[in-house]
Amino acid sequence: MNTLHYTYRVTWSPEDGEHVGLCTEFPSLTWLAKTPSAALKGIQKVVTDVVADMAARGEPVPVALAEKTYSGEFRVRIPPSIHRNLALMAAEQGVSLNRLASAKLAA
């Protein structure tokens, strides 16, 4: 498992007065540092250590989001009135409901 494939982000923490490194696949882990690059290096090291520990214990290790495959389909439940309104919009625009929903989600 290449821990550099995980999704990392660095942001400023006003509460701490430092940059905080985050990893999407491990939301409970953070690393505070004075510089963005130090925060990134810190969170990457923490994740690498945690993954090694999980592997040594035989625990399942999260798959990096970048390495997952997606079908392009998901189901959303909405109130019937919204469904009707979207169907009307799609018909008025001469497109399918799927195409309209996709365009709205992409916007």
Residue 106: what pLDDT? 95
| Alpha-carbon distances of 93 from 76, 87, 100, rounded to whole Å | 22, 10, 9
Q: Is the pTM higher than 0.95?
A: no
Mean pLDDT across the stretch 19-46? 98
Residue 34: what pLDDT? 98
Q: What value does the mean pLDDT of the chain take?
A: 96
Mean pLDDT across the stretch 32-44? 98
Mean pLDDT across the stretch 16-43? 98
Nearest in space to 67 (alpha carbons), one of 22, 23, 6: 6
Residue 53, CB-side half-sphere exposure with 13 Å CA sphere: 6
pLDDT at 35 over 90: yes
Q: What is the pLDDT of residues 47-63, one digit of tens each?
A: 999 999 999 999 999 99
Distance, in Å, from the CA atom of 89 to the CA atom of 102, rounded to the nearest integer, reads 13
Q: What is the pLDDT of residues 75-101, one digit of tens each?
A: 999 999 999 999 999 999 999 999 999
**Hey, what CATH topology would domain 3-66 get?**
Double Stranded RNA Binding Domain (3.30.160)
| Domain residue ranges in the chain | 3-66, 72-106
3-state secondary structure at position 22: strand
Residue 1: what pLDDT? 79
